[in-house]
Structure 1
Amino acid sequence: MFVVSVCSLKGGVGKTSVVLGLAAAARARGLTTLVVDLDPQGDATYALGVDAPGAVSADVLERPKRKVLGRAIVPAGWPRGNADLHVLPSSDATANLDRPDADGEQLHTLRTALGKLDYDLVLIDAPPSLSGLTRSALVASDRAVVVTEAGAFAVNAVTRLFAAIDEIRRTEAGGLQPLGIVLNRYKPSMAEQRAQRAALERAFGPLVLSPTLPDRAVVPKAQGARAPLDAMSGGAAALQGFELLLGRIERASRLTRRSDRRASASA
């Protein structure tokens, strides 16, 4: 099982859109996938078609037991079958656990809970902050994806987040590594965005991942329809960028479908 946190320090950059795009790409790839929604806004929970959840991520963080996980994790509500895509939903209650002073065992409860599960891929939608929930997500993760836009404050925010990732690697999660930076909603026709992309590349070099994700109207349409990109007219082109990003994750993790592993083991 490979765990990836999708993070940002600034709301509105499309962090949840990246989680949902990766979930759609993983579903198309046939990977058993769990989306963990730690953002109290619950946008991923809504867009994945989960209504009125019973237990939520806050319950799991307070009691990382198998029976709590069993009550909380539900199939996604996306059309066209979702046996391989599950959700650990969020709610307003999750905000109560986003403590700036969280430390020690509090930061390891999510990691403990995920250790009881068996998925190919876990995607964590972390809130846009450096408080307890984001740090818990990073402690539980193998890789961190940092999402940003090509804006004036992008380099500063990404620098702060990378510093936090490095601190957590040294103190709480030695296996954590940054996968890189996803430049989202990129408009290459705008000179300012080209300049900000160049600034990111000067500061972070190959950590700025390719491809950048362009600004596409079909992405928010899919979220509003509570459907995957490949179920939308024009969504296939948008999905390609997320498939390439998933490929980076696969190369980092040597990720293969569980069915492929079983077939190889029995050969």
Structure 2
Amino acid sequence: MLVLGVCSLKGGVGKTSVTLGLASAALERGLRTLVVDLDPQGDSTLALAVSGAQGDVAGLLDSPSAETLAAATGSSAWADAGLDVLVGSAASSRHDAYDGAVMDLDRLRFALAWAHDYDLVLVDCPPSLGGLTRTGLTACDRAVVVTEPGLFSVTAVGRAMRTIDDLRRGPAGQLQPLGVVVNRVKARSVEQAFRLEELRGLYGPLVLQPFVPERAALQQAQGAAQPVHAWPGAGAKEVAGTFDELLDRALRAPRT
């Protein structure tokens, strides 16, 4: 089972959209997938149209066990089977405070020891450096940092990469950065082209290809609670192909 974290330290760059695109790609190829919605906004839970859960991720982090994991897990309406969600809620914000205690960061990793039925776990982290993001990344084998080609977003990538490095030197020795996913790329933007070159200069091969193009089809599919692979049109097909390639990269990456 690969546990892949999706994070960003700047809101509004499309972190949840990338999580959902990867979930769509995994569903398309028949991978049994669990999406962990750690973001107190609960956008992944909303977009995946979850049903059947009796609890949420906040309760799971309060008391990690097989029982609380089962209670917090629901099924996505995207498919009859094969895609489940650890339900997010605003209550998870009580776990976002961080006082440097390493043991508290193990709660999700401990809980996922009971998640035996999945090929892939996608952890949608909040856009912050608090306890929830650190808890999520501590449970992961690999992590992607989502950005868009703008000044402030590029600056946030460095902080996220340093956090991943700090965690792998501490409580998450298994954690490795998969790389940087660049979202909402416009083909003919001079400013974006400059920022893309800046990213390549800073992070080299960690800047993952292909970039995710800005296409209305992605937001349309999510608004309709549908996987982008099932959405009609050339734009949706292009975006779906991008997420297929990014998922391939994640699945091929060696793990410790």
Give the secondary structure class of the aligned counterpart of 1:173: coil
**What is the 5 A alignment of 1:78-97?**
78=78, 81-97=79-95
Aligned to 2:63: 63
Letter of the 2:119 partner, please give it.
Answer: D
Aligned to 2:31: 31
Aligned to 1:238: 239
Deviation, 1:253, is: 4.9
Q: Is the 8 A contact 2:7 2:124 kept in 1?
A: yes
Aligned to 2:227: 228
Letter of the 2:2 partner, please give it.
Answer: F
Letter of the 1:249 partner, please give it.
Answer: A
Q: Is the 8 A contact 1:48 1:76 kept in 2?
A: yes
Check if 1:109 corresponds to 2:110: no
**What is the 5 A alignment of 1:191-206?**
191-206=190-205
- Aligned equivalents of 1:46 and 1:102: distance in 2? 31
- Aligned equivalents of 1:203 and 1:176: distance in 2? 21
Further displaced range: 152-161 or 189-198: 152-161
- Aligned equivalents of 1:52 and 1:185: distance in 2? 33
- Aligned equivalents of 2:55 and 2:100: distance in 1? 22
Unaligned segments of structure 2, at least 5 residues: none
Deviation, 1:17, is: 0.3
**What is the 5 A alignment of 1:1-267?**
1-50=1-50, 53-78=53-78, 81-101=79-99, 103-118=101-116, 119-234=118-233, 235-253=236-254
- Aligned equivalents of 2:131 and 2:89: distance in 1? 16
- Aligned equivalents of 1:153 and 1:11: distance in 2? 11
Deviation, 1:148, is: 0.1
Unaligned segments of structure 1, at least 5 residues: 255-267
In structure 2, the CA distance between the partners of 1:70 and 1:52, relative to structure 1 (3 Å rule), is closer
Give the secondary structure class of the aligned counterpart of 2:35: strand
Q: Deviations over 1:39-75 (max 9, x none)?
A: 0000000000125953111111111111111111111
Q: Is the 8 A contact 1:180 1:208 kept in 2?
A: yes
Identity of aligned residues (%): 51
What TM-score do the two structures reach when normalised by structure 1?
A: 0.92
What TM-score do the two structures reach when normalised by structure 2?
A: 0.95
Q: Is the 8 A contact 1:5 1:124 kept in 2?
A: yes
- Aligned equivalents of 1:253 and 1:247: distance in 2? 12
